[in-house]
A and B are shown apart, each in its own frame.
Chain A
Amino acid sequence: MDLIWEGLRKALELLLRLDPEVLGITLLSLKVSGLATLLSVVLGLGLAVTVALNDFPGKRLVIALMNTGMGLPPVVVGLFVTVLLWRNGPFGFLGILYTPAAIILAQSIIATPIIAGLGLAALQHLPPGLRLQILALGATRTQLVWLLLKEARLPLLAAIMAGFGGVISEVGASIMVGGNLKGSTRVLTTATVMETSRGNFDVAFALSFLLLVLAFSVNALLTHLQQRSRRP
C-alpha cells in the first residue's frame, strides 16, 4: 500500500510542479492521438457513409472486413507499419519511422475501422425510409449525408469516443513505430511502460493519472456535444 500512496504523492508533486518533461509527453499524446482520431473520423465516416448509402456486390464482405478491423491488435499494426516504413521498405523514402507522424499513421489504422464499423452500424440503425423521406423534402446528396449524420449523432459521437479511447490507450504500435524517444516520440503510454520496467512506480503513477485525466477530459467534451441536443 505504501507504494501506491508514495506514487500518488509523487504524481501530485510532478503535476503541481508542471514538470516540463511530463507536460511535453502529455501534450504530445493529446496531439498525436487527437490527430489520429481526426484522420480516422474523416476516413471512417466517409467509408461508413459510402457503404451505408450504396448497394454494390460484395457489400457484406466489406462490412465483415470493417467489423474485423475493429479488433486489430495494435502490435500487429505496429509490426506492419514498421516494416512498411523501414529504411528499405516500400515507404522507407518517407523517412518518418520513429517520428510522431509514424505514430499518427499507426493509430489511424487502428481507429479508422472502429469509427467506420460503429459509424456504419449507427447509420444502418436509422429508419429505412428516412433516406427517401429526406430526399422527398428536397435534399441534395450532400444535404442528405449531413442530415443522416446529424440524425445519428449520438451513436456517431460514441463511435468517435471509442476510436479516441482505442488510440490514446494503446502502447504496442506507439512503441514499435515511435521508439519511445525522449522529447520526440515519447507518449504517456510508452513512458508509463518504461518507468514501470525501471521500477519508478511513482513516475509511472503520475503518468497513468495524467492519461486517465486526458481520456476523461476529451470524452467529457464529446459527451457534452453528444448530450446537449437531447431535449426533455
Chain B
Amino acid sequence: MSREVLLQARNLLVRRGGLQVLEVPALDLRAGEVLALMGPNGAGKTTLMLTLAGLLPPTGGELIFRQTSPRSREQQDALRRRMTMVFQDPLLLDATVAQNIATGLQLRGVRAAERQPQVEHWARRLGLGGLLDRSAHHLSGGEAQRTALARAFVLQPEVLFLDEPFSALDARSREGLIEDLGHILADTGTTTVLSTHDQSEAAQLAHRLAVMKEGRIVQLGGLREVMNHPEDPFVAAFVGMETLLKGQVVTCGEGLISVRLGKGAMDREVLAMGEAQPGQTVLVGVRPEHVALSLQTDNATSVRNAFPGAVTKVIPQGPFFKVELDCGFFLSAYVTGQSLSELGLQPGRRVVASFKATSVHLIRREGLDPQL
C-alpha cells in the first residue's frame, strides 16, 4: 500500500491529572485504509482516537491533515467536521431513527429536502429501511448501533473512528453488523480507525493493526504481519498467539533453526525458519489456527513439527473449538465441530499435534526475561 497519507500525528502527548496517558511519536493514517487498535482497557485506544478526531486537545504535539496543520479554533472545528466517530454506546438522541441519522447533516445546515434521500439511502444500507419513524428508545442494541453507524456514514466522513462499536452487542447481531460494515467500508473506501478487544473483528475488517499498551503503540504493521510475527510476548498474547514457549537455539543452518524447549518440555525440539545464533534464548510462538491434530503420525509429510500429546480441555469459541493439549508443553489448536467429533476429541484423548516450520514465530529480543 503506497496510498496518500491522510492524517498524521506527530509527538502526540496527552496528560491527565499529572499522568501521561498517551504518547505517540508518529502515526500515519493512509487514505482508504482500516487501522485496528488493540490493547487492554486503559491502553489509550479511546484517548488516541478522540485526539485524532479533534475531540480532545492534546497536551502536546500536532495533527496534520492532508499536509496542513490546523492552527486556529476555526480551522480545528472545520477539520473536526470532516471526521466523525461512533462509540460503544450508540448515544442516540431522543428522536426517531430518521431524525437521528439526519442530525449531522442538520448541524451542517443541509436542507430537509436534500437530507431525506441521503438518510433513506444509509438507513437502507444498514438494514433500517422499515424503522425510519421508530423512536430511538424502542430499538434493539443492534438496531441502535446500526442507526449510529448510518448517522456517521451519511456525513461521508474523510476519517471514521469506531470505538469498540460491537462490544455491547450479542454474538448474532455482532456477526451480521461486522459483515455489513465490511461491505460498506470496502465499497466506500472510508479511511477508518477501529478499536477492538477482539482479534477476529480486527482480522475481518482491518488492513493494519496497532497494538497499544500504557498509552504507547508497541507494534504497528500489516494485519498478518502483526498477528503472525508479534515483536514481544505482550503483543503475541494480545493477538491470539496462545502458545508461547521459552527455548534455546541448538542449531541453525540452511534457513532452518532448531530450538530446544525448556526442561519442563522434556527437551523437545521445534523447527522454525530463519536465522539465529546457537545458544540464543528465544520465545517460540504458534497460533492455534496453524496447529493440526490427527490420530497418528504420518511419516510422509512436509510438516516438520509433530508432537504426540493428550487433550486437556475443549473450549467452544464461536464457529470453532479451541483444544488445549499437553505435549510435554502447552499447545492450543483450533478445530471445527466436525473434526472434534470425527477425532473424538475430549479430555484425555491421545493425539498428534503438528505444525509447519513456517508457522513457527520466534521472538528474539535482547534482555528477554530468562524466567519467562
Contacts and interface: CB of A to CB of B under 8 A. Distances in A.
B184 interface: no
Nearest to B88: A129
Interface in A138-158: 138-140, 143, 147, 150-151
A138 B161 CA distance: 14
A136 interface: yes
B98 to A, nearest CB: 12
A231 interface: yes
B80 A133 contact: no
* Most B Cβ at <10 Å: residue of A132, A140, A151, A232: A132
Nearest to B96: A231
A229 B77 CA distance: 31
A127 B85 contact: no
A135 interface: yes
Given A127-B89, A133-B91, A143 B107 contact: yes
B80 A132 contact: no
B194 to A, nearest CB: 15
Chain A interface residue bracket vs B:
10 to 19
B87 interface: yes
Given A129-B87, A133-B91, A151-B94, A140 B55 contact: no
B81 A138 contact: yes
Contacts of B258: none
Interface of B is mostly: mixed
Given A143-B107, A231-B135, A137 B155 contact: yes
Contacts of B64: none
Contacts of A138: 80-81, 84, 104, 107-108, 155
A62 interface: no
Contacts of A139: 107
Given A143-B107, A231-B96, A231-B135, A135 B91 contact: no
Contacts of B50: 132
Nearest to B77: A140
A65 B43 CA distance: 38
A135 B94 contact: no
B55 A136 contact: yes
Contacts of A136: 53, 55, 80, 83-85, 161
A232 B96 CA distance: 11
Interface of A: 127, 129-130, 132-133, 135-140, 143, 147, 150-151, 229, 231-232
Interface of B: 50, 53, 55, 77, 80-81, 83-85, 87, 89, 91, 93-94, 96, 103-104, 107-108, 135, 137, 151, 155, 161
7 contacts: A132-B55, A132-B87, A133-B91, A136-B161, A137-B103, A139-B107, A147-B93
* Closest A-B pairs by Cβ, 4 of them: A136-B85, A137-B104, A133-B91, A138-B81
